[in-house]
């Protein structure tokens, strides 16, 4: 990438940060209006939560499609196709006659948004490696971290005055804007590096990653981390608004504060000399914070106790994302698009499976139990990753 000027590199970082932010915008933007949507569509809270799950399944499945496609056809054409699909799905969702139709649109939005997420990691890995890759992912994470702060705040204010349709009009504008920005993107994956031959070769390259021990260890850490994240995301609006009695705007501000903690964590992750240490530190912090939240949920019904431990969980999740992402992508360099696809799919599929579980029983207690159990799994694999020296550590004290 040294052949490109500083202006283009700045554009590239902004574009990759915006593309990676698709996940938070697709999932977080309408969180403040989820309780009111249940009334508007005359349906249950679980059916509205199913829309969140549908978008996460779309984000998972879409990465499995767009990642391998980009290894064969290049990043740019796949990026343009995914942005077009997202924009179309956002437009059609505005005319949803019922919750079932809306949830199908949410799946398609997730499917299109997945292209931006999977390619943001693939393009970064095309352009950088080692600690430079970790730095670029941290910068992208910081930009990405603005999305969870901005999305619910904008969503809360927008939903207060325009209802859910105003939120999805903004999503449509974002999709079209990123499609236009993608037209300016220069292909980062040269033809000679692409997977040639039949689709069987693409599948073989994809499946070969699952035989890589360290790739799978980091993948497990990432998956459990995302289980924790989406356990929080899918329950937060119901706990803060229904359980503690806050309104949509107040919830948005609380959510923004927690997201800011995640930004702080992602920036501080670079203070670690080795990313595997940052990953273990992150999962240890999540385990302790989730454990304390689980314990206090049965002792106290205080919002401030709930919020304090939630903030810490998001802070340590901020440490997890750049460290585990860069480690996993380094291990999967033989097929970058496929590695990024698997990584993203595991994250969002984990979230899609966890989200409905927090709705059973009293969501205040159930979410604390689910998040704690997931943190135990994350710590276990984080410990394995910390104890073993990975291939990329041997190469460069990474």
Helix (H, G, I), strand (E, B) or coil at 62: helix
Instruction: Return all residues near 381 (Cβ < 8 A) that are at least 6 apart.
Output: 217, 220, 221, 224, 283
Instruction: Return all residues near 190 (Cβ < 8 A) that are at least 6 apart.
Output: none
Record the tokens describing residue 34, joined without a space: 């989820």
Q: Is residue 123 part of a domain?
A: yes
**In terms of pLDDT, which residue wins out, 69 or 154?**
69
How high is the pLDDT of residue 314?
Answer: 94
For range 373-396, the mean pLDDT: 74
Give start and end residues of each alpha helix (H) in 238-362.
248-268, 275-297, 303-331, 336-354
148 band by pLDDT with thresholds 50, 70 and 90: low
Query: DSSP class of residue 270?
Result: G
pTM for this prediction: 0.74
Domain of 232 in residue numbering reads as 6-396
Instruction: Report pLDDT digits (tens) over 65-108.
Output: 998 899 889 999 999 999 999 999 999 999 999 999 999 999 99
Instruction: Report the Cα 243 to chain-centroid distance in Å.
Output: 26
- d(C-alpha 290, C-alpha 315), whole Å: 12
396 band by pLDDT with thresholds 50, 70 and 90: very low
Q: Is the dihedral of CA 183, 185, 191, 196 positive or negative?
A: negative
pLDDT at position 293 over 90: yes
For range 168-181, the mean pLDDT: 93
385 band by pLDDT with thresholds 50, 70 and 90: confident
How high is the pLDDT of residue 152?
Answer: 67
* CATH classification of the domain holding 167: 1.20.1250.20
Instruction: Report pLDDT digits (tens) over 18-67.
Output: 898 877 777 778 877 887 888 888 888 778 878 888 887 888 889 889 98
Q: 117 vs 122, 140, 274, 380, 395, CA distance in Å? A: 9, 11, 25, 27, 28
pLDDT at position 1 over 60: no
Q: Is residue 288 part of a domain?
A: yes
pLDDT at position 393 over 60: no
CB 156 within 8 Å of CB 50: no
Q: Is the dihedral of CA 65, 70, 72, 78 positive or negative?
A: positive
115 band by pLDDT with thresholds 50, 70 and 90: very high
Domain count, the chain: 1
In whole numbers, what is the pLDDT of the chain averaged over residues? 85
Spell out a b/e string for 72-87, using b for 16 or more CB atoms within 10 Å of the CB, else e. Answer: bbbbbebbbbbbbbbb
Angle at 42 between CA 36 and CA 44, to 5 degrees: 75
Q: Is residue 1 part of a domain?
A: no
Closest CA to 59 of 14, 17, 120: 120
For range 289-301, the mean pLDDT: 93
- d(C-alpha 257, C-alpha 26), whole Å: 19
Residue 41 has phi, psi (to 5 degrees) of -95, 5
């Amino acid at each position: 990438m040294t052949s490109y000027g500083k202006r283009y590199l700045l554009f590239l970082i902004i574009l990759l940060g915006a593309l990676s932010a698709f996940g938070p915008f697709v999932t977080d933007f309408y969180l403040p209006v989820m309780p009111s949507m249940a009334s508007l569509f005359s349906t249950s809270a679980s059916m509205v939560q199913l829309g969140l799950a549908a978008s996460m399944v779309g984000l998972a499945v879409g990465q499995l499609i767009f990642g391998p496609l980009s290894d064969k056809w290049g990043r740019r054409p796949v990026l343009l196709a995914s942005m077009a699909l997202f924009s179309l799905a956002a437009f059609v969702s505005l005319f949803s006659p019922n919750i079932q139709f809306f949830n199908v649109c949410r799946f398609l939005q997730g499917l299109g948004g997945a292209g931006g997420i999977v390619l943001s990691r693939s393009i970064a890995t095309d352009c950088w490696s080692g600690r430079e890759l970790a730095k670029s992912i941290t910068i992208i994470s910081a930009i990405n971290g603005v999305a969870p702060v901005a999305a619910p705040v904008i969503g809360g204010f927008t939903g207060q005055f325009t209802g859910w349709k105003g939120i999805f009009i903004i999503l449509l504008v974002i999709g079209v804007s990123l499609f236009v920005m993608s037209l300016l993107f220069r292909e980062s994956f040269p033809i000679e590096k692409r997977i040639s031959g039949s689709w069987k070769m693409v599948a073989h390259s994809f499946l070969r990653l699952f035989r890589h021990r360290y790739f799978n260890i980091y993948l497990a850490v990432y998956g459990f981390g995302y289980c924790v994240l989406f356990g929080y995301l899918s329950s937060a609006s119901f706990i803060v608004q229904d359980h503690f009695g806050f309104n949509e705007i107040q919830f948005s501000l609380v959510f923004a504060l927690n997201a800011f903690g995640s930004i702080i964590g992602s920036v501080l992750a670079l203070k670690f000399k080795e990313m595997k240490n940052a990953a273990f530190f992150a999962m240890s912090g999540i385990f302790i914070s989730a454990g304390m939240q689980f314990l206090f949920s049965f002792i106290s019904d205080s919002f401030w106790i709930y919020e304090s431990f939630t903030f810490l969980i998001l802070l340590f999740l901020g440490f997890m994302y750049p460290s585990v992402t860069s480690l996993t992508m380094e291990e999967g360099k033989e097929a970058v698009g496929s590695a990024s696809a698997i990584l993203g799919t595991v994250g969002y599929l984990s979230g899609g499976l966890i989200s409905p579980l927090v709705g059973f029983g009293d969501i205040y207690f159930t979410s604390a139990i689910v998040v704690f159990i997931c943190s135990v799994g994350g710590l276990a694999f984080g410990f394995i990753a910390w104890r073993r020296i990975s291939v990329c550590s041997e190469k460069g004290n990474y």
